[in-house]
Amino acid sequence: MVRDLYHNLLKWKNDRYRKPLVLKGARQVGKTYLITEFAKNEFDNYIILNCDKDIRIKDIFENGYRTERIISDIELLSGEKIIAGKTLIFIDEVGDAPKAIASLKYFCEDAPEYHIIVAGSLLGLAIHKGVSFPVGKVDEMTLYPMSFDEFVRAHLGDAPYERLKTGRFDEFSSVRELYIEELRMYYFLGGMPEVVQGYLNGRALDDLRDIQKRILADYALDISKHADKQILGRIHQVWNSIPQQLAKNNKKFVYGDVQKGGRAKDFELAIEWLIDAGMIYKVSRVRKAGVPLKYYEDFSAFKLFMLDHGLMGALSDVPVSEILLKKNIFEEYKGTFTEQYVFEQLKCVIDTGIFYFDSDNTKLELDFLIQVDNGLVPIEVKAEENLKSKSLRQFFINCPESKPVRVSMSDYRKQDWMINIPLFIVSRIKDIIRYSDYDEIIE
Average pLDDT over all residues of the chain: 91
pLDDT tens-digit readout, 204-260: 999 999 999 999 999 999 999 889 999 999 999 999 999 999 988 889 999 999 999
pLDDT reported for residue 110: 97
Answer for the pair 373, 403: CB distance below 8 angstroms, yes or no.
Answer: no
- 136 and 207 in a single domain? The answer is no
Statement: residue 25 has pLDDT above 70: yes
* Interval 14-26 mean pLDDT: 96
pLDDT of residue 386: 60
Q: How many domains does the chain have?
A: 2
Q: Are residues 120 and 15 in the same domain?
A: yes
Q: What pLDDT was estimated at residue 443?
A: 36
> What would the 3-class secondary structure string for the chain be?
CCCCHHHHHHHHHHCCCCCCEEEECCCCCCHHHHHHHHHHHHCCEEEEEECCCCHHHHHHHHCCCCHHHHHHHHHHHHCCCCCCCCEEEEEECHHHCHHHHHHHHHHHHHCCCCEEEEECCCHHHHHCCCCCCCCCCCEEEECCCCCHHHHHHHHHCHHHHHHHHHCCCCCCHHHHHHHHHHHHHHHHHCCCHHHHHHHHCCCCHHHHHHHHHHHHHHHHHHHHHHCCHHHHHHHHHHHHHHHHHHHCCCCCCCHHHHCCCCCHHHHHHHHHHHHHCCCEEEEEEECCCCCCHHHHEEEEEEEEEECCHHHHHHHHCCCHHHHHHCCCHHHHCHHHHHHHHHHHHHHHHCCCCEEEEECCCCCCEEEEEEEECCEEEEEEECCCCCCCCHHHHHHHHHCCCCCCEEEECCCCEECCCCEEEEHHHHHHHHHHHHCCCCHHHHC
Query: What sign results for the dihedral spanned by CA atoms 177, 181, 184, 190?
Result: negative
CA 323 to chain centre: 22
What pLDDT, on the 0 to 100 scale, is given for residue 129? 62
pLDDT at 441: 36
> Tens digits of per-residue pLDDT, 126-144?
665 656 789 899 999 999 9
pLDDT of amino acid 133:
85
CATH number at residue 76: 3.40.50.300
CA distance 170 to 428: 12
Residues 229 and 302 in one domain: yes
Whether the per-residue pLDDT at 439 is higher than 60: the answer is no
Same domain, 309 and 178: yes
Q: Tell me, what's the pLDDT at 153?
A: 98
Are 153 and 137 part of one and the same domain? no
pLDDT in tens, 318-377: 888 777 766 665 555 555 789 999 999 999 999 989 999 998 776 789 999 999 998 999
**In the structure, what pLDDT confidence band is assigned to residue 405 with cuts at 50, 70 and 90?**
very high
pLDDT value, residue 364: 87
**Residues 335 and 197 occupy one common structural domain:** yes
Same domain, 182 and 114: no
* Other beta carbons less than 10 A from residue 46's beta carbon: 21
First-residue to last-residue Cα distance in the chain: 34
Please tell me the predicted confidence (pLDDT) of residue 277.
92
Nearest to 315 by CA among 183, 223, 216, 194: 216
- Structure-model confidence comparison of residues 80 and 98, the more confident one: 80
Tell whether 24 and 156 lie within a shared domain.
no
Query: Of 107, 142, 177, which residue is a domain's last?
Result: 142
The predicted structure's pLDDT at residue 127: 63
Q: Which of 122, 142, 162 represents a domain boundary (last residue)?
A: 142
Same domain, 172 and 24: no
CA distance 90 to 73: 14
One domain, residues 134 and 154: no
Last residue of a domain, one of 110, 142, 174: 142
The range of the structural domain enclosing residue 15 comes to 5-142
Alpha-carbon distance of 217 to 211, in angstroms, equals 10
Model pLDDT, residue 279 = 96
- Under 8 Å between Cβ of 411 and 422: yes
Is 301 in the same domain as 393? yes
Tell whether 81 and 163 lie within a shared domain. Answer: no
The band of 385, judged by pLDDT with boundaries at 50, 70 and 90, is low
Tens-place pLDDT, residues 276-325: 999 999 999 998 889 999 999 999 999 999 999 999 999 999 888 777 76
Alpha-carbon radius of gyration of the chain: 23
